[in-house]
Structure 1
């Protein structure tokens, strides 16, 4: 089974509403759905919303419970959590739990929230005190350690701001603590020590782009443009398609417009992004969202945080909130093309393809590479294969060494539009770059299998794909279909049954299994599978094939095997 699975866009997780309720125009508290407006009913509704990850809705219910006369440490605990997830950090700081019934973990988060709120208001000394020592324990020790030097700088404690944070066995603190120290050394005009940190962070063959961009900006501010260009060039050799690095390189080459030093609030906001990402990667979604909210309280223009919040909102099904978050990056910012891509896909997924395509086309007209890729992907998603191939051809023509994923995507567009020789050329070209890529092995292998060409070679390719992804129903279907084409129907049934177990709702796999059942004499089961296909929203080609088999009662057309088998 062919399936284009390689994606250029990022991930999504569970979360809550993007905008605090009191900031939403025309917002009114939600009804209590027959609970009589009691404090207890509001509390239960708020708890349900909180469990569903809907922070703003939960905050509204808890506020209503309080208005209805409810008051307890537990209610304050829940209201605090909801306010954090909704992004109402000033309110959350007021609600930070202290009572005996409040959980220890919520108290620790409350201490961190209060520290961030102090910093958001420029109150460095109380923030420094809140973050000091063991005031904030697990799991927030890393975030608190990263914030502490910035709070010290706000308090005017220069020496305290230059102490590098340490948390045992915490690589995030090691990396971002040193990056923060480099920023703060520069702020203290201790440039040699700042550069020592930057060099340590950017050593090696593949330095992280965060440190490279920070070091490059430092060099630009020190009027060392050629050194900055050399640094960016080294990073671009490892990441040739990195738009942020390319933009920084172009800027440095002019010798003008060096980025300013981050403000203390901006620096503090940046160090919270990494712990947020770490929490999300560990499936600690509420904590990850909370850190993102705290980062945005310190720097509302932190675009990467808005993109992550948008992903969380979309995964939670709050499309309006996701779009609001994706709408935060402004034109001209490095994150803007990604934000527009995510916005466009949100409309595509909501079955508004014309809006999605219009938005993506407008973004692609800027010439941005990622925006053009998004437009090509959306064209293909809407069966406009020739147009997608043309957009990709323009991209490929701009690059003497085109990315294998671009060749793969164009090969898919060519194949879907019936331009097989061109598709085969692109798929083979991509496979030369990535000979062990399971998606490529499966797509090209299945294409040959379905065409009855190069069957022994194609069988080997899909076997390698399945070995790499043994739980992929699509790849196991390809393997079953290869055995079917080679006339080994019993083995075909074995693999196709496995594929249907993994992809029960796929019409093509069910159709294949019906054909295999027919070939081994299991006619009743074949009839059942074909009838099931018609309930699974098949495309026109599969639907016509199934209906013909059911109407004629003669099973699959023609022989199962083919004489068009070619050698490698």
Structure 2
């Protein structure tokens, strides 16, 4: 890999703004290299690269390289950084390994280590595009504007170097060349397809040099300042123009402002006549941080977020640690990659900065729940409801957590509070908490209230498959409204034809109604999507038995047992063994004599989370 020119993102592909950076070539395997020098290993250990737990023996280059690749596949950035650093120690001149180490280090939040490596690559005249980006970020962080401008040269705007051009524009301002900075952004704003992005930054520059009229003319344009930082910037600019009423009207028009403490505090200061400074960017470094944040947001918005979205978000947070939006985006990108511990570090930083933002905390609660840390998630939800008692989303999140832990009776008051806060909101905002409270009520034995909630939710959202499935099956399980319940489940299956849970409910509804032949097809479809679910296998066995396919029924029951169901789950392994021993008819006869349901299974939905 040879030395390459600076990154040149192409404007025609905004979602791939940084596609010029050399991504890891996973098919490329470096050749076996000599053992590292003792000095290399000593330096590595001094930097804390040794694993906290003993790992497998690493012989030569192959061991750490393969371990690094496995860690990368699993998005275990800390381990990937550790092992790629070891691989680089074995071969200090391999740019492929160095680039991968940079990606892993920055993704893990170890930006200082990445800066050191990138600097070494430049000294050895082996600077890659990614290393070049990191070295420029270091110059920005140090305020070395003259060195940065000398190193860059003039930005080649005509070739479409948006990232280079925007960094160059802010660097000119950092060097005290305000007129040149404005001229640079003016040229960039003429490029097709990126007008709103560049105009936002041009507005920030104009505000920083005191041209608030010019800044407002730019920020007020459609789509230029529609994001959180843009709204704050425009409100602050309006305050400098002594147009506080316009600033308050702007903030009042933001949907969901009650969930954004930054906007609420700004509105309060505007109302009170308190001083309001323009400080959404305090330095040119903050401006470049927002450039990286802009690119990170564009890259993360694609259906399959680019890996380099996290790189740009990390650099944005490193350059401007007080910019909560950058830390929040980092946390969200880490959550998408199931790196919940790393995400939690970012949420902790936001709280230390005094930014207990509902959007961040709700995201954090979801991350903790998905990381199987329910106690921490519940504490976070309780803290959020205490901090924002009038925020219905906080109470819904708490109710969801309690419901997921099967604390159904405790979940009901949380949903009660949420629904009381939503009473004057549009009906569409109420359907999910009604549905969730209906589940909690039904599971805690209060079916009359549950039925009312579920019917109310269906009236609001009549085409929600899981909702129809839940009420329909609940009726059939209780031997009530049988035909209407079956029609609901059939509609749910039409709305969501590939949902194995709904197919299971449809088949089991036919079974409960004694329509065994009709139950076979949907249950076989369900098993096709949920072959490893012991309940579905058990149900299919029962249906096969009832249509005379006893041998196949026994196979399904044994299959259910092989999946190791527990007594605390939906499947009773002792009951399956009894069916294998005596047959289903004998078991049902015993249960009828004991006045028990044949199988009190409840409808299941695809997820206990918000849909």
Q: Which of 411, 416, 422 in structure 2 is aligned with 1:388? A: 411
Partner of 2:387: 366
On the 8 A contact 1:442/1:461 being kept in 2, the answer is yes
Matched, 1:522 2:549: yes
| TM-score normalised per structure 2 | 0.74
Deviation at 1:290, TM superposition (A): 1.0
Matched, 1:509 2:565: no
Deviation at 1:311, TM superposition (A): 4.3
Matched, 1:243 2:260: yes
Matched, 1:433 2:460: yes
On the 8 A contact 1:32/1:41 being kept in 2, the answer is no
Matched, 1:34 2:57: yes
**Gapped regions of structure 1 (runs ≥ 5):** 1-21, 562-568
Deviation at 1:295, TM superposition (A): 0.9
Deviation at 1:386, TM superposition (A): 1.6
Q: What CA distance in whole angstroms lies between the structure 2 residues aligned with 1:145 and 1:399?
A: 47
Partner of 1:379: 402
On the 8 A contact 2:322/2:353 being kept in 1, the answer is no
Partner of 1:448: 475
On the 8 A contact 1:114/1:127 being kept in 2, the answer is no
Q: What CA distance in whole angstroms lies between the structure 1 residues aligned with 2:451 and 2:212?
A: 55
Matched, 1:309 2:330: yes
Matched, 1:258 2:288: no
Partner of 2:575: 547
Matched, 1:60 2:82: yes
Partner of 1:231: 250
Count of matched residue positions in the alignment of Structure 1 and Structure 2: 527
Please list, as runs of the form range in 1=range in 2, the aligned pairs for 1:440-519 lying within 5 A after superposition.
Answer: 440-519=467-546
3-state DSSP of counterpart to 2:406 = coil
On the 8 A contact 1:508/1:538 being kept in 2, the answer is no
Matched, 1:72 2:94: yes
Deviation at 1:332, TM superposition (A): 7.3
Q: Flag the 1:462–1:150 CA change in 2: closer, same or farther, 3 A.
A: farther
Matched, 1:155 2:178: no
Q: Flag the 1:232–1:80 CA change in 2: closer, same or farther, 3 A.
A: closer
Deviation at 1:436, TM superposition (A): 3.0
3-state DSSP of counterpart to 2:253 = helix
3-state DSSP of counterpart to 1:365 = helix
Please list, as runs of the form range in 1=range in 2, the aligned pairs for 1:321-336 lying within 5 A after superposition.
Answer: 321-330=342-351, 333-334=354-355, 336=357
3-state DSSP of counterpart to 2:584 = coil
On the 8 A contact 2:490/2:506 being kept in 1, the answer is yes
Q: Alpha carbon RMSD of aligned pairs, Å?
A: 4.0
3-state DSSP of counterpart to 1:279 = helix
Q: What CA distance in whole angstroms lies between the structure 2 residues aligned with 1:429 and 1:554?
A: 38
Deviation readout 1:189-245 (Å, 9 max, x if unpaired): 2222222222223699xx555543432333344443322222222223xx4764355
| TM-score normalised per structure 1 | 0.78
On the 8 A contact 1:480/1:491 being kept in 2, the answer is yes
On the 8 A contact 2:88/2:94 being kept in 1, the answer is no
Q: Flag the 1:479–1:61 CA change in 2: closer, same or farther, 3 A.
A: same
On the 8 A contact 2:212/2:241 being kept in 1, the answer is no
Return 540-549 or 210-219, whichever deviates more.
Answer: 540-549
Matched, 1:201 2:235: no
Deviation at 1:330, TM superposition (A): 1.7
On the 8 A contact 2:238/2:247 being kept in 1, the answer is yes
Deviation readout 1:407-427 (Å, 9 max, x if unpaired): 222222112212222222222
Partner of 2:152: 130
Q: Flag the 1:349–1:155 CA change in 2: closer, same or farther, 3 A.
A: same
Please list, as runs of the form range in 1=range in 2, the aligned pairs for 1:42-121 lying within 5 A after superposition.
Answer: 42-67=64-89, 70-87=92-109, 88=111, 89-95=114-120, 107-121=128-142
Deviation at 1:296, TM superposition (A): 1.5
Q: What CA distance in whole angstroms lies between the structure 1 residues aligned with 2:474 and 2:192?
A: 48
Q: What CA distance in whole angstroms lies between the structure 1 residues aligned with 2:564 and 2:328?
A: 34
Partner of 2:213: 192
Return 239-248 or 516-525, whichever deviates more.
Answer: 239-248
3-state DSSP of counterpart to 1:329 = helix
On the 8 A contact 2:542/2:584 being kept in 1, the answer is no
Return 450-459 or 148-157, whichever deviates more.
Answer: 450-459
On the 8 A contact 1:476/1:496 being kept in 2, the answer is yes
3-state DSSP of counterpart to 2:246 = helix
On the 8 A contact 1:449/1:485 being kept in 2, the answer is yes
Deviation at 1:54, TM superposition (A): 3.7
Return 351-360 or 192-201, whichever deviates more.
Answer: 351-360
Partner of 1:12: none
Deviation at 1:118, TM superposition (A): 1.9
Max radius of gyration: which structure? 2
Q: What CA distance in whole angstroms lies between the structure 1 residues aligned with 2:345 and 2:374?
A: 19
**Gapped regions of structure 2 (runs ≥ 5):** 1-42, 600-611
